[in-house]
Amino acid sequence: MKKKIEILKKEKNACIMAHYYAPAEVQEIADYVGDSFYLAKVAKESKADVIVFCGVGFMGESAKILCPDKTVLMPDLTADCPMAHMVKEGKIAQMREQYSDIAVVCYINSTAELKCQSDVCVTSSNAVKIVKALPNQNIFFIPDRNLGRFVASQVPEKNIILNDGCCPIHADITSASVKAVMEKHKEALVLCHPECEPEVLELADFSGSTAEIIDYAKASTASEFIICTEDGVGFKLMSDNPEKKFYFPTPCPVCKDMKLNTLENVLRVLENEENKVEVDEKVRERALLPLNKMLELGK
């Protein structure tokens, strides 16, 4: 399968992009592996005609919005991020009415329709920087309450209004399950994704995006880490640091949508050019504005 994928990639001038939560065998064959911000930048700069995006719906959609002339394929079009939909109808309009100067800051884990109603997109690796850079005092942060709360703790000078959305996988990581691992491995540092609940983030020695967690573990002189995010990051952590130990809380957090990105599916979509990501042109043009603003402010 790997050989066939290689041949098809050359034939079609295609590249494979994978998020760190994709299965290990998919990360292995990918041309680019990274966090959401890195993958959005790479998609925009790519010279490929075809991008096979091994992630979830909002990631493939963002790539298509940024690169309308490229064919963007997803190994499984049903791979979705439940949090991307978690803003109640009418809520954004209501906030805009309530605060005349409000900026709607939209986590990239969101549908194109939500991006269309937003001023700027962010990812977990640039949210603090971008919120600080905005001139607005009032910020409506959608859809993730946990990343929103994390940003609010880092930017106390602004009024950050939270929305009640969250990632079900990170929300399932309990402080008790993390404390149980801490008890067994007393020297281990706790590294958390900001999508975790506040009582878990309180236990963290470091909080950051998937790429920031990976960079932190590599640079650290510590040799044991408790990882509070999806298990896919384990592949890169262990290949970068074979001498270090990584533990996940029990049950191990798994995003089943990310695991729909299998080698079989990658090969099939490359062969048949099926599962094309399509975005209505009017929606694309509007959703592009907050994504481009993110790329500019996040530089």
Residues near ligand 13P (CB under 6 A) = 35-36, 109, 123-124, 167, 193, 195, 209-210
Please give the backbone phi and psi of residue 107, each rounded to the nearest 5 degrees, phi first: -55, 140
233: contact with ligand SF4 by CB under 6 A: no
Our CB check for ligand 13P shows the closer of 117 and 125 to be 125
231: contact with ligand SF4 by CB under 6 A: no
Side-chain-side CA neighbours of 87 within 13 Å: the count stands at 29
Question: How many other CB atoms sit within 10 Å of the CB of residue 186?
Answer: 7
Separation CA 174–CA 202 (nearest Å):
12
Q: How far is the CB of 21 from ligand SF4 (least distance, A)?
A: 6
207: contact with ligand SF4 by CB under 6 A: no
Question: Which of ligand 13P, ligand SF4, none has residue 210 at its interface (CB below 5 to 8 Å by kind)?
Answer: ligand 13P
173: contact with ligand SF4 by CB under 6 A: no
Our CB check for ligand 13P shows the closer of 36 and 275 to be 36
Using CB under 6 A as the binding rule, the residues of this chain from 102 to 121 that contact ligand SF4 are 109
Dihedral of alpha carbons 33, 36, 38, 43, sign: positive
CA-derived radius of gyration, the chain: 19
Q: Tell me whether residue 70 is exposed, middle or buried, using C-beta atoms within 10 angstroms of its C-beta: 0 to 12, 13 to 18, 19 or more.
A: buried
234: contact with ligand SF4 by CB under 6 A: no
212: contact with ligand SF4 by CB under 6 A: no
Q: How far is the CB of 119 from ligand SF4 (least distance, A)?
A: 21
Question: How many other CB atoms sit within 10 Å of the CB of residue 50?
Answer: 21
DSSP codes, 29-56:
H-SEEE-HHHHHHHHHH---SEEEEES-
Using CB under 6 A as the binding rule, the residues of this chain from 235 to 294 that contact ligand SF4 are 255, 257-258
Cβ atoms of 244 and 216 within 8 Å: the answer is no
Cβ atoms of 211 and 34 within 8 Å: the answer is yes
Our CB check for ligand SF4 shows the closer of 70 and 170 to be 170
Going by C-alpha positions, the residue among 245, 240, 248 that lies closest to residue 27 is 240
Our CB check for ligand SF4 shows the closer of 48 and 83 to be 83
227: contact with ligand SF4 by CB under 6 A: no
228 beta partners: 192
167: contact with ligand SF4 by CB under 6 A: yes
169: contact with ligand SF4 by CB under 6 A: yes
Our CB check for ligand 13P shows the closer of 124 and 261 to be 124
**Region binding ligand SF4 by CB under 6 A among candidate stretches 41-49, 75-83, 133-141, 147-155:** 75-83
For ligand SF4, the binding residues (CB under 6 A) are: 21, 56, 81-83, 109, 167, 169-170, 195, 230, 255, 257-258
